[in-house]
Amino acid sequence: MQTILAEKLEKPTPRYTSYPTAPHFHQGIEADQYRNWLQSLPAGSALSLYFHIPFCDRLCWFCGCTTKQTQQYKPIERYLESLYREIATVGALAGHDSTVTALHLGGGSPTMLSPADFATLGKTIREHFNLADDAEISIEMDPNDLDEEKYDAMAAFGVTRASLGVQDFDPKVQQSINRPQTFDQTREVVEAMRKRGVGSVNLDMLYGLPYQTLETIEDTVAKIISLEPDRIALFGYAHVPWIKKHQKMIDEAALPGVAERFKQANHAAELLTANGYHRIGMDHFALQHDKLSRADRNGDLNRNFQGYTTDNADALIGMGASSIGRMPQGYVQNTPSTHDYQRRVDTEGGLATVRGLELSDDDHMRGWLIERLMCDFRFSSAELVERFGQLAVTVIEEAEALANADDNGLFVRSGGTFQITESGRPYVRTIAAEFDRYLQKGTARHSVSV
């Protein structure tokens, strides 16, 4: 029954790591406006910093990130010069009276940085921003980039959480996505980071990959669990070759259909929960001691461009090519081209903002509602009214109409609470999309929702 429902309800929808989503950003938001937004941050604001390192030494065909392949280190050195300049600019505008509570290095492969450049980047950040003593410092890692000296450099940088992509351990699946990575390599990284005091390890796996089966999923989950990661992210592969041209290298005939994807996701989730992992949102799992589990239990779970998070900073500031920031007034995004990023930062005042979106009151309200559905699978009409006043009446009426029209028991009203039922949780993106005013206006294409 559930697989039939999955095929019936499947439709391309955003992942809702923001609202409005990035395809609706426009070129009317540029560096001068972003500069004003940074300067207007109240003293004492909590900041979350994201740094994008858009380079890999091997391009994985499944990847949806903004990155480029390079076998030379010179382009990275040149890029870092501009990144340091942007850090200095943003720090002068917003850093001195604020406190950084979270810092994330993403990519690409941040672990391509040399030990010396890890040290310089850490020093530069701390020169221009005040890091809280308990700031969470996380990094995305590629096992193929690593050695003992780099492990030591990351420890000296202050990394507290390591995130490592696994995808699938089956050699045929790995070959089909150009991502060779043995179980022994993965275990060595986990052990090396824990040896250096990193308290939280996250492993990512994918379902919906070419040649994946329930058997390869089961084997991969068993191997992941044996490493006892604190968190596990279980993502559905997003096949978007019209956006990411390298995905055309993937054999589409080998991709599982909607029903099979649904079975793979459910099987993996059942195995993880049976082994002590607490299910969080639509695609995360964590052991009971992990901060993400505690946030979920306490109703403090949030969602941003890194996915589910405990991060509740007043502003998320993205630095580096293509990086996105979320300010109280709206979203900003840097130019995706590394060449253009360097030119703008070096010659146009230290910022490279080229697009974004200023939030309306309706955007704030719908963004809050969608985030609560994605995190808690419910929202309170009373809290909606308390936060947004008369404006809330419209979306409450929309929610009532959606609940009344639902013949599948996925979205219901119970008293003053609208809730996605247990059977509706796999379709949370589809349900959240019903409150998205922008979705029908745009021409963006999205990945399947199941």
Encode pLDDT of 218-239 as tens digits.
999 999 999 999 999 999 998 8
- pLDDT tens for each residue of 15-41: 999 999 999 999 999 999 999 999 999
For 442, the token pair is: 């745009």
Question: Are domains 1-16+360-442 and 21-319 of this chain identical in fold?
Answer: no
Cα separation, 225 vs 240, whole angstroms: 30
Quote the pLDDT of residue 71: 86
Strand segments (E) across 154-199: 161-167
Instruction: Name the residue with tokens 């929309």.
Output: 398
State the maximum Cα–Cα separation within the chain, in Å, rounded to a whole number.
Answer: 61
Domain limits, the chain: 1-16+360-442, 21-319
Beta strand 131-141 with 161-167: parallel, antiparallel or unpaired? parallel
> Does residue 12 contact residue 445 with C-beta atoms inside 8 Å?
yes
Q: Which of 111, 29, 50 is nearest to 76 (CA)?
A: 111
> Does residue 225 contact residue 275 with C-beta atoms inside 8 Å?
yes
> Does residue 259 contact residue 247 with C-beta atoms inside 8 Å?
no
- pLDDT tens for each residue of 399-432: 999 999 999 999 999 999 999 999 999 999 999 9
Map residue 160 onto helix, strand or coil: coil
Quote the pLDDT of residue 67: 82
Pick the CATH number of 1-16+360-442 from 3.40.50.2000, 1.10.10.920, 3.30.413.10, 3.40.50.300: 1.10.10.920
Cα separation, 443 vs 441, whole angstroms: 7
Q: Which residues of 71-107 are buried (b: 16+ CB within 10 A; e: fewer)?
A: eeeebbeebbebbbbbbbbbbebbbeebbbbbbbbbb
Class of domain 21-319 (CATH, top level): alpha beta
Quote the pLDDT of residue 2: 56
Map residue 351 onto helix, strand or coil: coil
Beta bridge partners of 46: 99
Q: Which of 423, 450, 357 is nearest to 18 (CA)?
A: 357
Quote the pLDDT of residue 1: 46
Helices (H), 59-133: 74-90, 115-128
Cα separation, 278 vs 272, whole angstroms: 8
Map residue 263 onto helix, strand or coil: helix
Question: CB neighbours of 424 closer than 8 A, spacing ≥ 6?
Answer: 377, 408, 409, 410, 411, 431
**Amino acid at position 430, single letter:** T
> Does residue 284 contact residue 303 with C-beta atoms inside 8 Å?
no
Instruction: Count how many Cα atoms sit within 13 Å of the Cα of residue 446 in the half-sphere of its side chain.
Output: 21
User: How far, rounded to the nearest angstrom, does the alpha carbon of residue 30 sit from its chain's CA centroid?
Assistant: 24
Q: What is the DSSP letter of 91?
A: I
For 413, the token pair is: 């009203």
Query: For the CA atoms of the chain, what is the radius of gyration?
Result: 21
Backbone region of residue 193 per phi and psi (left: phi > 0; alpha: psi in -120 to 50; beta: other values): alpha
Cα separation, 52 vs 357, whole angstroms: 20
Q: Which residues of the chain have pLDDT under 70?
A: 1-11, 441-450
> Does residue 311 contact residue 48 with C-beta atoms inside 8 Å?
yes
The neighbour count for residue 39, using CB atoms within 10 Å, is 10
**Amino acid at position 447, single letter:** S
For 318, phi then psi, to 5°, come to: -95, 135
Helices (H), 91-161: 115-128, 148-157
For 345, the token pair is: 């930062």
Quote the pLDDT of residue 246: 81
